């Protein structure tokens, strides 16, 4: 019989860590891998391309994107949304889309909440800088920048600098700009809103700015491939400047089991962003932990 001591809990934990060790046999490993990758391939094949999936201001500036905006506006007109007329306040939504398209650069904050939260080490918010060809995302935990992601569309390079662990990874063969914000991208959001059925919310003062808002509960806002169960999303645009001031979305998935809310705010539109902002700043003592191949 063994007598357990003060250190027994540590020994027990060590035992669990070491002995609860299960691996897939080579055959099983390869078999499961094949099933997983096949599922991924089928999902991609069957997914219908979303005609409104645009992610970056660089995309917003090209002719194809302009056509997409025109299409979105046309859809809105067909379903009776007054995108070419103001609702009494001066905000003309078609002009908002155009104004956003013409913005040289934008800075904004993104905050997300997920319930139940499946994550550890969640960042509190990110401050994002987008130019026409580059993006920088600073993710904060408290007042500290936990990590920074640099995306350069010209060089097809993505670098993620982890300040917590003093390391970085780089991908020098990234194709195009990342879809790292997805639906929360303000450029993307305006356009998607215009293509959904929505209602006017009237005026409200947000952060001291008189705004006019619209709201949608149309799950098509998130595309047809994997829409949420339900959602409520709003955009608020400054009456004075015609630029978005706040976007927010809350939706549920998995029969109500999962709730995701995000807010983009603190916008600075049409700013000239210093190129230096997008120069990856990797301190000399940070370790490159990029994998040999992606």
Partner 1 sequence: MRIIEDELLKWRFKRGSREALARIYEKYVNALLSLAMGLLNDPHEAQDVVQDVFVSFAQGAESFTLTGNLRAYLARSVVNRVRDRRRRQRSQQRRVDVLATTAGGSTVIDRTLVYNERCERLSAALEQLPYEQREVVVLKVKHDMTLREIARIQGVSISTVHGRYRYGLDKLRALLNGDMDHE
The residue (of 78 and 284) whose beta carbon lies closer to partner 1 is: 284
Among 95, 107, 140, 171, binds partner 1 (CB under 8 A): 171
* Residue 79 or 287 having the CB closest to partner 1: 287
Please report how the helices 63-78 and 186-194 are oriented relative to each other, as an axis angle in degrees rounded to 10. Answer: 40
Cβ proximity to partner 1: between 59 and 123 the closer is: 123
3 state DSSP class of 93: helix
Phi, psi of 260 (to 5 degrees): -125, 130
| C-alpha dihedral sign at 184, 185, 187, 188 | negative
What is the footprint of partner 1 within residues 17-36 (CB under 8 A)?
Answer: 17-25, 27-29, 32-33, 35-36
Laid out side by side, the sheet with 157-162 consists of 198-206, 209-216, 230-238, 244-253, 258-268, 106-115, 125-130, 134-141, 144-152, 157-162, 167-171, 287-288
- Nearest-CA neighbor of 153 among 127, 168, 181, 173? 173
The interface region with partner 1, picked from 64-72, 79-87, 119-127, 270-278 by CB under 8 A, is 119-127
Sketch the per residue contact string, 217 through 236, with partner 1: x for CB under 8 A, - otherwise.
Answer: -----xx-xx----------
Q: Which of 72, 123, 135, 195 binds partner 1 (CB under 8 A)?
A: 123
Residue from 63, 80, 208, 291 in contact with partner 1 (CB under 8 A): 291
40 makes contact with partner 1 (CB under 8 A): yes
- Among 71, 107, 140, 162, which residue sits at the site for partner 1 (rule: CB under 8 A)? 162
């Amino acid at each position: 019989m063994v007598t357990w001591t003060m250190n027994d809990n540590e020994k027990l934990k060590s035992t669990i860590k070491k002995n609860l060790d299960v691996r897939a046999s080579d055959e099983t490993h390869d078999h499961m891998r094949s099933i997983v990758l096949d599922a991924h391939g089928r999902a991609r094949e069957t997914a219908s391309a979303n005609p409104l999936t645009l992610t970056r201001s660089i995309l917003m500036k090209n002719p194809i994107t302009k056509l997409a905006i025109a299409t979105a506006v046309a859809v809105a007109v067909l379903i009776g949304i007054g995108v070419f007329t103001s609702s009494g306040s001066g905000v003309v939504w078609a002009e908002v889309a155009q104004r956003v398209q013409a913005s040289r650069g934008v800075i904004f904050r993104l905050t997300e909440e997920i319930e139940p939260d499946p994550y550890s080490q969640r960042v509190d918010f990110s401050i994002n800088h987008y130019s026409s060809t580059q993006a920088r995302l600073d993710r904060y935990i408290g007042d500290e920048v936990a990590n920074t992601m640099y995306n350069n569309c010209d060089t097809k390079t993505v670098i993620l600098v982890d300040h917590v662990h003093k390391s970085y990874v780089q991908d020098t063969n990234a194709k195009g700009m990342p879809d790292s914000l997805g639906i929360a991208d303000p450029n993307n959001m305006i356009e998607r809103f215009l293509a959904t059925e929505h209602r006017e919310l009237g005026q409200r003062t947000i952060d001291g700015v008189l705004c006019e808002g619209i709201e949608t509960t149309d799950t098509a806002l998130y595309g047809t491939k994997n829409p949420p169960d339900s959602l409520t999303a709003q955009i608020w645009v400054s009456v004075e400047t015609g630029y978005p001031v706040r976007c927010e979305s809350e939706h549920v998935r998995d029969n109500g089991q999962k709730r995701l809310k995000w807010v983009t705010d603190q916008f600075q539109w049409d700013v000239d962003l210093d190129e230096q902002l997008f120069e990856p700043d990797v301190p000399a003592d940070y370790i490159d932990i990029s994998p040999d191949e992606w």
